Amino acid sequence: MTYFVELEPVERVLVVVAHPDDVDFGSAGTVAKWVSQGTQVAYCIVTNGDAGGFDLTIDRSEMPAIRQREQTNAAGVVGVTDITFLGYRDGELQVSMGLRKDISRKIRQFRPDRVLCQSAERNYERIYASHPDHLAAAEATLCAVYPDARNPFAFPELLVEQLEAYSVTDVVMQASPTPNCYSDITDFVDQKISAILEHKSQMPNPEETVAFVKSWIGLSATAVGLPEGRFAEVYQKVSTS
């Protein structure tokens, strides 16, 4: 039986995810909670989301701007204003050295205590959480945390940009098949739902989405031992120090 511990806040958190809306489905409640406690949070969204949506009448060339606007609005709901869009093509993400460098750059710029990302391990019980872009973004992020961002000899061009090597203390991964910690988000559920609902281009049935999300985070709370009526987001935490 897994013993779950509650995830403690830190001063600075960088969130790196594959698509616009990934952070909101997985972690918006936790982010809202952290921001309320004084944590500085920044987002790094890897792809432009151009392969998402359900409305066939929307030209694909318009989707990146739509999704960037939706993610910016959703971030504002939970108090995040520092957002970087790397602009990689949705559905085509690979663990390239260029991607590792881009994430390392953001780590060195923001200098977070913690990085929140997706899981690089496929979750066979929640296959939709293991989109290939999720796996690639997670693996590139983990490579950026260790060894790239902390190694002054990795990507020497970043030193030319005045970005010194930096070591992240820990990583927490959403959608991991082996979670070991949680965040009680009961007081922040409304913000989480509001953030998710900003992604209008992705939800043909918003009411069904809300019902599903509330059921899911309710079951997560039960799984970590919280009383009935509570809500939680769960993570795998890995020390990198």
| Residue 126 binned pLDDT confidence (cut-offs 50, 70, 90) | confident
Q: Per-domain residue ranges for the chain?
A: 9-239
Selection from 31, 26, 15, 25 nearest residue 188 by Cα: 31
Alpha carbons 110 and 106: distance in angstroms, whole number: 6
Does pLDDT of 109 surpass 70? yes
Predicted pLDDT of residue 1: 57
**Thinking of the domain 9-239, which architecture would CATH place it in?**
3-Layer(aba) Sandwich (3.40)
Q: What are the tens digits of pLDDT across the range 74-107? A: 999 999 999 999 999 999 999 999 999 999 999 9
Task: Place 125 in a pLDDT band, splitting at 50, 70 and 90.
Answer: confident
* Average pLDDT estimate for 114-133: 92
Taking the C-alpha atoms of residue 201 and residue 221, their distance in angstroms, rounded to an integer, is 29
Average pLDDT of the residues in 204-214: 96
Predicted TM-score (pTM) of the model is: 0.97
